[in-house]
Amino acid sequence: QLQASGGGLVQTGGSLRLSCTASGSSLGSLVAWFRQAPGKEREGISCISRSGVSRVYTDSVRGRFTISTDNAKNTVYLQMNSLKPEDTAVYFCASRAVRVPNSVCLNSIHYEYWGQGTLVTVSS
């Protein structure tokens, strides 16, 4: 079971750190963060391999967001800096047992397990 946390209200330019923790099982070989803004489709924004070596970012967050993993805590983090109003969304984490190629790791259809989502609101 995955649990996402760390969302909240922040001003433009601010920072938040989201956490995705697995309880009762390991995180799996691949974990990703997705977001869904009102009226929009779910968007994959970053994924990371269990080792932490392989990381992928979508263009809109590259250079501002950093994904990391702490296997001892069974947790994946998403550090979000320089936040913009367009980052406002519900953020979800997801995992799968077996890795897929980086080229498709931001596609939601590949993920078996999902957290409940945490709301991030960036005010202008």
| H runs (alpha helix) in the chain | none
Whether residue 25 is predicted with pLDDT greater than 90 in this model: the reply is no
- Starting from the edge strand earliest in sequence, which strands make up the sheet with 65-70, in order? 2-5, 16-22, 75-80, 65-70
pLDDT of residue 96: 95
φ, ψ (nearest 5 deg) of residue 21:
-115, 135
Three-class DSSP category at 13: coil
* Inter-residue contact 4 to 92 (CB < 8 Å): yes
pLDDT of residue 86: 97
Whether residue 24 is predicted with pLDDT greater than 90 in this model: the reply is no
pLDDT of residue 26: 83
Rg (CA), the chain: 13
Which tens digit of pLDDT belongs to each residue from 33-80?
999 999 999 999 999 999 999 999 999 999 999 999 999 999 999 999
